[in-house]
Structure 1
Amino acid sequence: HLQIGIRAIDLLRAEGDHMHSRKLRTFNEPPFR
């Protein structure tokens, strides 16, 4: 159970980092302005 939980947390963290970098990128280069 612990291993599965840690794995899920790692996956979520990786996904969050991806989303964060994407958000930061869009904020740094806004195509609307």
Structure 2
Amino acid sequence: LKILIEPDFAFSNPTINLNKVVLPEPLLPVKA
């Protein structure tokens, strides 16, 4: 979901992209 919402961020940081999928809770508040 986060990847679709923020494609630029995901593409810019593939490593972060994986983290968002594995740990969406800690990154949700940071991005939100």
TM-score normalized by structure 2?
0.31
Which structure would you say has the larger Rg?
1
